[in-house]
């Protein structure tokens, strides 16, 4: 594991894996916005942390100076082989144009409204069956028994891989994202994913189906079948990006509803508020922080950024910026002005955002319809993960 010495000065030595940052990043961002507002650290390499809406969205749009070829918040410390199987990374998220542009076009139709509508029924049935498994007991771990179980199975369905492997997929994704500062664990996750997808893609070379993996393999760009390593990277991306993120948003929303009875009652009683409420929960508890790498020595808003420095795309902090959002730390379910960037900003807008929204809405609809009244179970451990993706990992709740 990397260093864990406590942070003394958030402006010059921040650490997104610090327990204080994971528990309450909001007060740290407030402090930084008022004084800095772009923090720096040399932990895990020279890295910058913008905290305002303006800076985060400006940097996200400045794709010339800020490249997406390194998107991990925690740099990879293992050995990269000379001829890596993921030669092209995991496009489109880890690519700049032109690779980004055409790989993104391959992916987007899979997550269009029309296609996402078709996954709603299975998502709903899945949520119902999960609730059925614990409702009689009067208690549940809303993160591990519910939120964590949903997106991974929906994504497995879309990719066309066995949903019985859901627990293994979840473990690999957590190894890659949540335990990224443990090089051995991270490598284990990457290897697991790569070996699995190489085999799945090979099966489809000889016997293609209609799933996303098969279609990716057969995709042609400018008359040529795409490089199989791109199909591999994109397949891995869909799993990595579609699991931890949405599960964290569902978990955080359930945490909010468990601890804010008035909001919970309103969502139970007022169907009209839902479209705005879902966006407000996404704003207030945005799970995802991405990264960019500086392409040339440059000065940004007085910060001397060097080629190779990282900049963290702090979308969660942008969404709490008081210059853009009135009372940003308050969840206002019917907030009417809400240009939140939970799904990013610019050309890398989350390709799966329609799917994530549907999953969050259906997961909350089914939960609140079966369990309209619930609260945190005192005396049991409640834990949060942070870093690249923030959300509850153990969320013990009780209900009648």
- Name the residues that contact another protein, by CB under 8 A: 57, 105, 108-109, 111-114, 275, 279, 336-341, 343, 345-347, 349, 353-354, 357
Q: How far apart are CA 365 and CA 352, in angstroms?
A: 20
The token pair at 235 is 């397949």
383 forms beta bridges with 394
Q: Identify which of residues 159 and 342 has a Cβ nearer to another protein in the complex.
A: 342
Q: Identify which of residues 109 and 304 has a Cβ nearer to another protein in the complex.
A: 109
Q: Identify which of residues 14 and 343 has a Cβ nearer to another protein in the complex.
A: 343
CA atoms within 13 A on the CB side of 319: 27
Length of the chain: 400
Q: Strand 391-394 vs strand 220-221: parallel, antiparallel, or unpaired?
A: unpaired
Q: Identify which of residues 344 and 387 has a Cβ nearer to another protein in the complex.
A: 344
Contact assessment for residue 366 and residue 336, using Cβ atoms and an 8 Å cutoff: no
To another protein, the closest distance from the beta carbon of 96 in angstroms equals 15
To another protein, the closest distance from the beta carbon of 105 in angstroms equals 7
Rg (CA), the chain: 21
The kind and range of the H/E element at 220 are strand 220-221
To another protein, the closest distance from the beta carbon of 340 in angstroms equals 7
Angle at 234 between CA 228 and CA 238, to 5 degrees: 145
- Cβ-proximal residues to 80 (8 Å cutoff; 6+ apart), any chain: none
To another protein, the closest distance from the beta carbon of 317 in angstroms equals 15
Q: Identify which of residues 111 and 399 has a Cβ nearer to another protein in the complex.
A: 111
Q: Identify which of residues 84 and 275 has a Cβ nearer to another protein in the complex.
A: 275
To another protein, the closest distance from the beta carbon of 339 in angstroms equals 5
The token pair at 155 is 């994504």
To another protein, the closest distance from the beta carbon of 336 in angstroms equals 6
Q: How far apart are CA 250 and CA 361, in angstroms?
A: 9
């Amino acid at each position: 594991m990397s260093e864990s010495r406590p942070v003394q000065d958030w402006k010059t030595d921040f650490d997104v894996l610090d327990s204080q940052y994971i528990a309450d990043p909001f007060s740290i961002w407030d402090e930084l916005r008022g004084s800095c507002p772009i923090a720096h650290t040399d932990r895990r390499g020279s890295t910058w942390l913008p905290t305002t809406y303006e800076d985060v969205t400006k940097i996200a749009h400045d794709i010339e100076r800020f490249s997406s070829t390194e998107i991990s918040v925690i740099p990879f410390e293992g050995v990269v082989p000379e001829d890596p199987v993921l030669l092209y990374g995991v496009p489109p998220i880890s690519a700049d144009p032109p690779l980004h542009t055409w790989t993104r076009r391959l992916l987007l139709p899979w997550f269009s409204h029309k296609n996402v509508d078709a996954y709603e029924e299975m998502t709903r049935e899945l949520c119902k069956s999960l609730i059925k498994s614990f409702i009689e007991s009067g208690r549940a771990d809303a993160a591990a028994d519910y939120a964590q179980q949903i997106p991974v199975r929906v994504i497995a369905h879309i990719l066309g891989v066995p949903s019985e492997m859901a627990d293994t997929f979840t473990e690999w994704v957590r190894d890659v994202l949540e335990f990224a500062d443990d090089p051995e664990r991270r490598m284990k996750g990457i290897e697991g994913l790569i070996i699995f997808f190489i085999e799945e893609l090979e099966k489809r070379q000889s016997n293609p189906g209609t799933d996303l993996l098969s279609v990716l393999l057969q995709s042609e760009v400018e008359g040529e079948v795409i490089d199989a390593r791109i199909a591999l990277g994109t397949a891995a991306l869909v799993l990595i990006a579609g699991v931890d993120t949405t599960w964290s948003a569902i978990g955080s929303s359930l945490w909010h509803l468990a601890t804010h009875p008035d909001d919970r009652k309103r969502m139970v009683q007022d169907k009209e508020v839902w479209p705005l409420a879902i966006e407000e929960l996404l704003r207030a508890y945005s799970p995802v922080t991405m990264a960019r790498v500086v392409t040339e020595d440059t000065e940004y808003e007085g910060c001397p950024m060097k080629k190779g420095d990282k900049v963290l795309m702090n979308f969660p902090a942008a969404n709490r910026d008081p210059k853009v959002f009135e009372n940003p730390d308050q969840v206002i379910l019917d907030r009417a002005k809400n240009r939140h960037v939970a799904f990013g900003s610019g050309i890398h807008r989350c390709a799966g955002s329609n799917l994530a929204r549907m999953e969050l809405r259906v997961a909350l609809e089914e939960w609140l319809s079966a369990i309209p009244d619930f609260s945190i179970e005192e005396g049991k451990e409640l834990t949060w993960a942070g870093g690249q993706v923030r959300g509850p990992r153990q969320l013990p709740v009780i209900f009648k």
